[in-house]
Chains A and B, each alone.
Chain A
């Protein structure tokens, strides 16, 4: 019984281990955080009911005064406003400034001084330093544009952005695209970057579509993610399995073999729900044609029978009982007992997760060589499935601009997604898989190279459903899938959950 009525929030201990909460973390300590963690139910902390009522109202009614965005703050902007483009890049880490300046012609914001506030979620190195250097380099190339970098904890940044959008938003802020972006656009405070980015957005591949709403570009991704099975090669060998499964039937056979060898076949972070949803979504990709998926997500209605069929497939997998003991209560990324920790410690053989997993694991295990025992294979195919071969599930991280100084913001996004800057972000381990394809050569880790090869070979990379759908609908689908994992509801209920949530 909570006796105290407490306003405000405190950390609730659910934050990921130090080092893993960075958005653009590192291989060494936590690259991944990115979109996935951000969606870990973030800690809202000790709000009692009344406090929640209060917070709700306060955030809405006073945000116009409260929001950070100290656009007028700080940053004694250098007076030199003209000839900005000719200013040489002064920092060694900024070989790419020319790209940005050439495109924008140095007359960003009409040559007037401007300070842009930038909210990103890299609150630890290497991401934090990398972004700071990027901001400095950009300022060196465009002295009239100063970027006020404000790292915000990953767990709170979504709520913070949401509150800020009700008043004065930051000028540049973290953006995961999809339905959440579409919801944010209702605020009328996101800049349409379509024409400002048209000359270079093609460098970032087809996946930029995830940051478009109604064909307009409202965000720009700086890295991409893809989901597949991570597995322990040593445990597969121990169970007498020669190679990764190619088909669903192979997977079931391997599960049987692993269980016979007394090895937990698969770990899943059921507590966080979204790892459950990855399974259903991957089955949907195998069962449904691309057009059906696209139109169904757009309509927030999964009426085609193929969606129910995906649930039936999932049932078959659940019936094989491949998961660890108590998987319904297991978190995805926190602690050695999390689904990632179990695999990192060799206590489970497989896990369906994103490319970030290799970066999540080091802090969860004492085994320094775990990475050498890890392999990656795509979600196995299903005989008779109507899904497009080579379809993958994934997403990425990006930034949006508010409407204050869109041209300067767009130029900055062009700068951080330019080939040279992306390569240096990869080298500093701030980014795992860069959005700019020409920077991928900077990736050196052999396992990650495999993931990259897979990502480059996919026919299309479907944004995670819960991100692609309006947030309320996406969460409802996650809930339905996680109920299904707990043995509640039917395959049809999962398909019906979206429409039900959309009409509420």
Chain B
């Protein structure tokens, strides 16, 4: 891009912001300049600037995806030749396997819980932390702190807190809620929700910071104007702030859904997907089959399914939810 604008600047009319390299070249020709030199330079620059990223993207994203798709048609232990293709048998097996079906359901459950519990919670806390008050900076720090911890540290810490007779149980007992105590990570009916709480604790800070940034972008004048027109604070929030926060919320939902579908680290460390598969996610299932059981063909098939689910979701969401937010940035080029 930089070369484009520089080439353009040599011509009479600079074309800042124009993405297509063709017009400046035409200008150059029109003005009788030799097109060859800038063209070579342009190509060199493009090569230099895009090359490394392109190689990484192809080598570590596209080719692996393609190879995983290829492997998914074989029953392959990871050793020796691939043997005969077994067609779509791996995919059929995954769809029929009740453990995998449950894993998908667990992912969806986490995603929905995030949407209906984590999001309102994030918005409320962000609105709260956006107000002027004493210790606001400190409170923001406290809320954001868990996000700084790595997933592994979070998981190990909560693993200890949630031990039977551990810290959480003690606290509940001391505040008179001893009756609620259960085996948080060993009860097949509870474990997924326990994990959701941990996940929420970990990521809510990120959501809040994102939403706070969004709130900063809303001019104070709008709220003031609404107040002058007689709107109550609730009406102002409901009718002015939230609609303007829309793009941020939609981005949060996008990140959160993708994150929910890929949930792995915390689950793997805290429960290994157990007990009895009660907290298995697609990603833990994939690791369990691919790497632990040496079923690389089948593991690849599961990975491809997970990829397709994420990819389709991302495409649809971009198309229908994010489109108006990104219009002019992404969609502008093809207009």
Contacts and interface: CB of A to CB of B under 8 A. Distances in A.
Nearest to A189: B79
Given A2-B259, A482-B276, A52 B287 contact: yes
Given A2-B263, A52-B283, A475-B292, A12 B275 contact: no
B286 A52 contact: yes
Contacts, number: 215
Contacts of B300: 53, 56-57
A58 to B, nearest CB: 6
A162 B294 contact: yes
A162 B294 CA distance: 9
A492 B277 CA distance: 19
Interface in B213-272: 255-265, 268-269, 271-272
A457 interface: no
Given A2-B263, A3-B206, A3-B255, A60 B296 contact: yes
A7 B262 CA distance: 13
B260 A1 contact: yes
A44 B268 CA distance: 9
Contacts of A95: none
B274 A273 contact: yes
A91 interface: no
Interface residues of B, number: 78
Given A1-B263, A166-B78, A184-B79, A53 B186 contact: no
Interface string B67-97: 1100100000111100000000000010000
Contact of B156 (A13, A56, A471): A13
A10 B186 contact: no
Contacts of B206: 3
Contact of A326 (B71, B164, B258, B277): B164
Nearest to B59: A58
Given A1-B259, A326-B183, A187 B80 contact: yes
A486 B188 contact: yes
Contacts of A55: 64
B303 interface: yes
A162 B293 CA distance: 12
Interface stretch (A20-28, A211-219, A282-290, A329-337): A329-337
Given A52-B286, A482-B276, A60 B79 contact: no
Given A56-B71, A326-B164, A46 B151 contact: yes
A472 interface: yes
Interface residues of A, number: 64
Contacts of B275: 270-271, 328-329, 482, 485-486
Nearest to B282: A49
Contact of A54 (B61, B188, B191, B304): B61
B264 A56 contact: no
A226 to B, nearest CB: 25
A345 interface: no
Interface in B281-335: 282-283, 286-296, 298-300, 303-304, 306-307, 310
Contacts of A7: 60
A327 B186 contact: yes
B165 interface: yes
A45 B64 contact: no
Quick one: which of B71, B151, B184, B307 has the most chain A CB within 10 A?
B151
Nearest to B268: A12
B160 interface: yes
Interface in A15-45: 41, 43-45
B7 interface: no
Contacts of B183: 325-326, 328-329
Contacts of A184: 79
A61 B300 CA distance: 13
Nearest to A7: B60
A47 B303 CA distance: 11
Contact of A53 (B64, B152, B188, B276): B64
Contacts of B191: 329
B274 A328 contact: yes
B186 A48 contact: no
A483 interface: yes
Contacts of A180: 294
B79 A165 contact: yes
Contacts of A479: 277
B123 interface: no
Given A2-B264, A326-B164, A483-B276, A188 B80 contact: yes
A479 B61 CA distance: 32
Contacts of A482: 274-276
A3 B67 CA distance: 25
Nearest to A474: B293
A145 B64 CA distance: 39
B288 to A, nearest CB: 7
A55 B256 CA distance: 23
Given A326-B186, A475-B293, A186 B77 contact: yes
A44 B307 contact: no
B248 to A, nearest CB: 14
B152 A10 contact: yes
Nearest to B206: A3
B152 A13 contact: yes
B124 interface: no
A370 B314 CA distance: 56
B144 interface: no
A187 B78 CA distance: 9
B78 to A, nearest CB: 6
Given A12-B269, A13-B155, A159-B291, A56 B299 contact: yes
A3 B306 contact: no
Given A1-B255, A56-B299, A60-B296, 4 more contacts: A11-B152, A13-B156, A48-B283, A486-B188
Interface of A: 1-3, 5, 7, 10-14, 41, 43-50, 52-58, 60-61, 159, 162, 165-166, 180, 183-184, 186-188, 270-273, 324-330, 335, 337, 470-472, 475-476, 479, 482-483, 485-488, 504
30 contacts: A2-B262, A2-B263, A2-B264, A3-B255, A5-B262, A41-B268, A41-B292, A46-B152, A47-B287, A48-B264, A49-B264, A49-B303, A50-B262, A53-B303, A55-B64, A56-B300, A162-B294, A183-B79, A271-B272, A272-B272, A326-B184, A328-B183, A328-B188, A328-B276, A329-B271, A330-B186, A337-B166, A471-B77, A482-B274, A483-B276
Across chains A and B, which 9 residue pairs bring their CB atoms closest together, nearest first?
Answer: A1-B259, A326-B183, A328-B275, A57-B67, A329-B186, A13-B156, A57-B64, A486-B276, A329-B185
Interface of B: 60-61, 63-68, 71, 77-80, 93, 110, 114, 150-153, 155-156, 160, 163-166, 183-188, 191, 199, 203, 206, 255-265, 268-269, 271-272, 274-278, 282-283, 286-296, 298-300, 303-304, 306-307, 310
